[in-house]
Chain A
Amino acid sequence: MAPAGEKIGIEERQLNLIQALLYTERPLRAEELRALVNGYRGYDNDESFRRTFERDKQALLSMGVPLVVAGAGADGGTEGYRIDRKRYYLEMPDLAEDELAALRLAVSLVQVGDASGEEALWRVGGVVDTGDGPLAGARTAGPVAVLPSSANLDRIFAALTERAQLTFTYKGEERTVDPMRLDFMRGRWYLSADDHSRNGALRCFRVDRIDGQAHVAAPGSFTRAPDRVVPAPSEAWGFDVDDTVTARLLVDESHADLVAHRLGDTARADRQDDGSVLFEFEVRHRDGFRWLVIDLADHAEVVGPDELRQDLIDWVAGALR
């Protein structure tokens, strides 16, 4: 411990600050911290103390330390600080060595933004190397997927896990929502949420189309039924635009696998004797359905219902007029 009047290293000072803020039962004012915390006692000059304290505060916030700012005086008027212990201490998932190794492989192959994931691994038990796992052979070539990141994405994830309401501007309109589900598909992030601006109806938002900064309300500002299951966002033909019809699409053998991948488990597939496959699936957006079918050129045929078949014929025939 450094004697009073002597300045100590930044790491030692910040570790002392974190421990003091964890230990205290009540918010501590900056001046109290200056007097108490080993590392600030060397600062005789008010201004240099203030600058150092501000820098340390920012450093703690950037590490993700849940710093609480609250009234600290008798009248509650003076700003004081403490760390929310419940939010600071990680309920550490008890990860076995092979599980940590699997996570290590995962973050080296699938990245969100430019974060390496290494610092996150430290917090759950460290970086354990392995040679095996899905796609381990592709690892030498760097990540196989880099998912887009943004400050709003982090806020949405925080709101989702903390059951906090979100407010943001979407298509020029302010929306207040209860976040229910976050999906990464087709190379983009989608938020499914109960939209208070639409009488609580479930709506899907593209995260990259949120304007400006999303605001996160206090944790626990809504409740979610534990057994609630929110469906994944639809492909274009499933967008809730038109009446629902069940399409029957016959696809040549050459293109059947491709269509099977796109439809996933939302479709029923019957392989025919000639190798072609008859797919049955729900269509709620005619434009999206037309895109799917025309993209297959003459390797697919809408066999029913008549209205969808005729719609496609009329649309394509329009190009010949």
Chain B
Amino acid sequence: MSRVPATTRVPRLLAIVAWVASQADGVPVEHICKRFGIGRTQLLAELNTVMLTGVPPYTPDALITVFVDDDIVRILPQWLDKSMALTAAQGLALLAAAEGLHDVPGSEPDGPLARAMHKLAAALRARPGRDVDIHLGSVGGGVLPVIERALADGESVAITYLSANADRTDERVIEPWVLRAIDGAWQVDAWCQRAGGVRTFRLDRMRDAAPTGEAARTPRGEVDAPGYRSGPDDVPVTLLLDPEVAWVVERWAVDDLEELDDGRLRVHLRVGAAAWLQRILLALGPRVAVEDAGDSRVVDVRPMAERILARYGR
């Protein structure tokens, strides 16, 4: 039973009073305890407090009535017969959670989550998918349930993965540890048997995922905060970005940032995969300059440019 701070006891009590009052036949004490995360002794003490409250002149008819017979609680709530409205933050938290999960492949269009979402949205006057829309990340229908099952069962998964860094497809066996939606992409942190370490895989880059039927071999450990994990072979690179493209660094793991007098941004970062950086340098074109690189091959965009142009017969 989680401990509830004093500042949340009153709103919880208001919710309990309104909910029990709405149950015509009363509610068993244990049921209330479970539903509102409160211990039996605490609940009975708080109900005793409730009975002392009401409106002036605090005559018996102006006080809340609480009956506890045979462990069944009944409440005549006076002015507290309906629950307090959700705050904006609470309303958004519930609606966003419902919509976010509903957006996941496999969610039933008419299931309990969908029904709850539509009822909530109607009460909040926010049409789901129209006024408020939550898109956690893109993912193919088949991959997510496989990863989820492997997480739940502690099994490994064989994947065909399109690596963003190495720019090729390969086969791996991974042991999923943590599933997350970050920056609009579903990712799984997993033990990669081939790499012998924890790696992050984007689900939209998995072309295929199939359970191996084998239990994971490596005990799950702590996973670092999401983001790029630099390796021992990473190359330090310093870039100068024009102001209009400075936004691109928002999602990079950079070592240091410095704004220059002319408005440009000097960015120090470490790069593990040349192909990733080369594509970015090509896309930025004249808006980026390489100031320094630990290995000039990493920032040489010519081979990548030639590959692309070859596709156009150039």
Using CB atoms and an 8 Å cutoff, list the residues of chain A in contact with chain B.
1-2, 8-12, 14-16, 18-20, 22-23, 36-38, 59, 62-66, 87-96, 98-103, 105-107, 109-113, 115, 117-128, 133-138, 140-142, 144-145, 147, 149, 153-155, 157-158, 160-162, 180-187, 229-230, 232, 254-255, 257-258, 261-262, 264, 290-291, 294-295, 297-298, 300-301, 309, 312-313, 315-320
Which residue of chain A is the closest to B223 with respect to CB atoms? A141
The 5 closest A-B pairs by CB, nearest first: A137-B152, A64-B87, A187-B183, A261-B138, A120-B90
Task: Please determine whether A319 and B285 come into contact, CB atoms closer than 8 angstroms.
Answer: yes
Q: How far, in Å, is B272 (CB) from chain A's closest CB?
A: 17
Q: How far, in Å, is B149 (CB) from chain A's closest CB?
A: 6
Q: How far, in Å, is B313 (CB) from chain A's closest CB?
A: 10
Q: How far, in Å, is A119 (CB) from chain B's closest CB?
A: 6
Q: How far, in Å, is B179 (CB) from chain A's closest CB?
A: 5
Task: Please determine whether A112 and B92 come into contact, CB atoms closer than 8 angstroms.
Answer: yes
Q: How far, in Å, is B271 (CB) from chain A's closest CB?
A: 16
Task: Please determine whether A184 and B133 come into contact, CB atoms closer than 8 angstroms.
Answer: yes
Which residue of chain A is the closest to B140 with respect to CB atoms? A257
Task: Map CB proximity to A onto B75-102 as digits: 1 under 8 Å, 0 otherwise.
Answer: 0001110111111111111101110111
- CA gap between A109 and B115 in the complex, in Å: 18
| Interface residue from B13, B36, B88, B124 paired with A11 (Cβ < 8 Å) | B13
- A255 in contact with B162 given A106-B98, A294-B283 (CB within 8 Å): yes
Task: Please determine whether A181 and B131 come into contact, CB atoms closer than 8 angstroms.
Answer: yes
- A88 in contact with B98 given A11-B10, A138-B152 (CB within 8 Å): no
Considering only residues 128-169 of chain B, those with a C-beta below 8 Å from chain A are: 130-136, 138-140, 144, 147-149, 151-153, 162, 167, 169
Interface residues on B, range: 35 or more
- A92 in contact with B83 given A37-B56, A64-B90 (CB within 8 Å): yes
Using CB atoms and an 8 Å cutoff, list the residues of chain B in contact with chain A.
6-16, 18-19, 22, 35-37, 46, 49-50, 52-56, 58, 63, 78-80, 82-94, 96-98, 100-102, 104, 106-107, 111-113, 115-116, 119-120, 122-126, 130-136, 138-140, 144, 147-149, 151-153, 162, 167, 169, 177-184, 204-205, 207, 275, 279, 281-283, 285-286, 301-302, 304-312, 314
CB-defined contacts of A295 to chain B, threshold 8 Å: 279, 283
Task: Please determine whether A109 and B101 come into contact, CB atoms closer than 8 angstroms.
Answer: yes
Which residue of chain A is the closest to B114 with respect to CB atoms? A102
- CA gap between A65 and B11 in the complex, in Å: 10
Task: Please determine whether B308 and A20 come into contact, CB atoms closer than 8 angstroms.
Answer: no
Task: Please determine whether A100 and B36 come into contact, CB atoms closer than 8 angstroms.
Answer: no
CB-defined contacts of B180 to chain A, threshold 8 Å: 144-145
CB-defined contacts of A100 to chain B, threshold 8 Å: 116
- A103 in contact with B91 given A93-B120, A93-B122 (CB within 8 Å): no
- CA gap between A16 and B151 in the complex, in Å: 49
Task: Please determine whether B10 and A126 come into contact, CB atoms closer than 8 angstroms.
Answer: no
With A11-B46, A106-B101, A161-B91 given, can you name 7 additional A-B contacts, CB distance below 8 Å? A93-B119, A103-B113, A112-B96, A123-B85, A133-B111, A140-B152, A182-B131
- CA gap between A23 and B53 in the complex, in Å: 13
- A117 in contact with B97 given A122-B11, A134-B113, A257-B207 (CB within 8 Å): yes
